[in-house]
Amino acid sequence: MHLDRRLGLFDATMIVMGGIIGAGIFSNPYVVAQQVHTPLLILGAWAVGGLIALAGAFIYAELSSQVTASGGQYIYLRDAMHPLVAFLYGWSLLFVIQTGGMAAVALIFANHLFELIGVRSSEFSAALLGSAALVLLTLINCIGVRAGSVTQNVFMILKLIAIATLVILGLLLASPAHTSSTAPISSTGTTWQLLIAFGAALIPTQFAYGGWQTACFVAGEVREPRKNLPRGLLLGVIGVIVVYLSVNYVCVHVLGADALAQTKTPATAVMRLALGSKGARFIAAGIAISTIGFLSQSMLTAPRVYFAMAEDGLFFKQLASVNRARVPAFAIALQGGLAIVIALVASKYEQILNYVVSVDVIFFGLTAVCVFVFRKQRRDSDAGSFRIPGHPFTTLFFIAACCVITFSLLYKFPLNSGISFGIMFLGVPAYFIWARGYRRT
C-alpha cells in the first residue's frame, strides 16, 4: 500500500518551520551570549547559523526534487551510498536523534505548563504530563495525515503569534538596556580566541536551527513534490532566520549582552520587563505551544523513515503497513512509545539533548555528499529539478560547517558524543541480521 499525497505548499512550509522552531529559540540566546560577549558577535552567530541552515535547505531542496518518495535522508543515503549507511541513519533517528529530542521537548512542555498554571512540579510529574502529550499526539497522527498536518499548522501559527508578540512588545514597552557590553571586539581576546569562541557559539545556534530536513520525510505525501517541497524548504528556512534574528535582537536590545549571558530564560525576562508577571505567564504559554507544536511535527514526519526502512526489508515488517487512514500507524506508535520510555527514565532535558546532535550532524554532512553522487549518476535525468545556487561552493561550505560542529561537540562533550556514537554503531550488527533475513525470503 502507498501513502496518499494530501499535503500542499503551505503544509510543507509549516512542517519545515515547525521542525526548526522549538524550545531552543527561547533559551539558547543566553548560551550564545556566554560564548561571545558583544551584541555584534551574538547576532553574527545567529546569522551564520542561519546561513548554514539555508545552505542545508538548498541541498535538501535539490535532493527532494529528484527523489519524491517518503523517507528523506534515508532514501538519499541508500541510493547514493549504501543501504548500511541509510540503515544506521534510520536506526540513530529512532533510538537517539528523534525520540531523544522528542522526550526532551516533552519535558520542557510539561515544566512550562506547570509554570503557567502556577503548580510546583517534580521530575516524575513532568515526565507523566509529557508522556500524556506524546500519547495524545501519537493518536492524532494515527488518525490520518490531514489530522496530523492540521494540528501541526495550528500550533505553528500560534507559535508565530507568540514570537511576534514577544518581538513587538519587547521593542515597544521594554526599556533598552544601558550596559558596557558594546566594548570593542578586540578587547575580548586574540583573533584565535575569538574564532574558538565563535565556533562554540555556533553549537547552540545549530541546536535551534536544526530540523528543516524532516519535511523531506513526508515527500511521498506532498502534492507536486518536485515543486512544492523545495519551495517549502526555502520559504520555511528563510522565515525561521527572520524570526530568530528578530528574537535575538530584542533580547540584546532589552537585556544587553552581559545580562543576556546571565539569564537562562531570556524570553521570560523580556516579557516580564514589558508586561510584568502577565507577560511572563504569556510567554510561558507561548513556549508550551512551541514545544507541543514541535512534538506534533515530529510525530508527523520521522515515522516515514521507519516505514521506508521496513519496505526495504531492513526493519520490522509491520512498520511498512498503513492503516485505513493510509498512514504508517505502527511506525508512529513505535516512535511515540520509545519517546515516552525515554521521557519517563531520563532525569533532565540537557542529559538527553547533549548527545543527540553529534550523530545528527554527521548524517547532515553525509547527505550533502549525496548531491555530488546524484549529479554524477543522473546527468541526463534531472531536467527541471531544483539546482543548488553556487554549487559546489555552497555544498562544500555546508559540509565544512558540519565538520567544524562535529569537532566542537567531540571536544566539548566527549562522553555524550561517545554514547551517541556507541548507539549508532550498535546498528551495524542489527543491519546484517535484517539484511540476511531479507535475502533468505
Q: How many residues does the chain have?
A: 441
pLDDT at 27: 75
In a domain, 113, yes or no: yes
pLDDT tens-digit series, residues 16-52: 887 788 777 887 888 888 888 889 999 999 999 999 9
pLDDT at 265: 77
Query: How many angstroms separate the CA atoms of 308 and 320, rounded?
Result: 7
Q: Can you name the residues that pair with 222 across neighbouring β-strands?
A: 7
In a domain, 2, yes or no: no
Residue-by-residue DSSP string for 273-313 = HHHTHHHHHHHHHHHHHHHHHHHHHHHHHTHHHHHHHHHTT
Q: Structural domain tally of the chain?
A: 1
User: Where in the sequence is the domain holding 156, given as residue range(s)?
Assistant: 9-440
Identify the top-confidence range among 20-34, 187-201, 375-389.
Answer: 20-34
pLDDT tens-digit series, residues 246-298: 999 999 999 888 888 888 778 888 888 888 888 888 888 888 887 887 787 77
**Taking 80 as the threshold, does the pLDDT of residue 177 lie above it?**
no
Q: Which residue has the higher pLDDT, 421 or 1?
A: 421
pTM of this prediction?
0.79
pLDDT at 181: 45
In a domain, 298, yes or no: yes
Query: How many angstroms separate the CA atoms of 254 and 271, rounded?
Result: 10
In a domain, 319, yes or no: yes
Task: Report which of 164, 309, 193, 234 is spatially closest to residue 12, judged by C-alpha positions.
Answer: 234
Quote the DSSP letter at residue 97.
I
**Taking 50 as the threshold, does the pLDDT of residue 182 lie above it?**
no
pLDDT at 303: 83
Q: Which residue has the higher pLDDT, 331 or 324?
A: 331
In a domain, 1, yes or no: no
AA letter at 6: R
In a domain, 50, yes or no: yes
Q: In the chain, pLDDT over 90 holds for what percent of residues?
A: 20
Q: What is the mean pLDDT of residues 95-104?
A: 84
In a domain, 3, yes or no: no
Instruction: Look at the alpha carbons of 330, 331, 332, 335 in this order and tell me if their dihedral is positive or negative.
Output: positive
Mean pLDDT of the chain: 82
Q: Tell me the CATH number at 175.
A: 1.20.1740.10
CA within 13 Å, CB half, 311: 18
Give the range among 331-335, 373-377, 412-416 with minimum mean pLDDT. 412-416
Q: Which residue has the higher pLDDT, 370 or 6?
A: 370
pLDDT at 440: 54
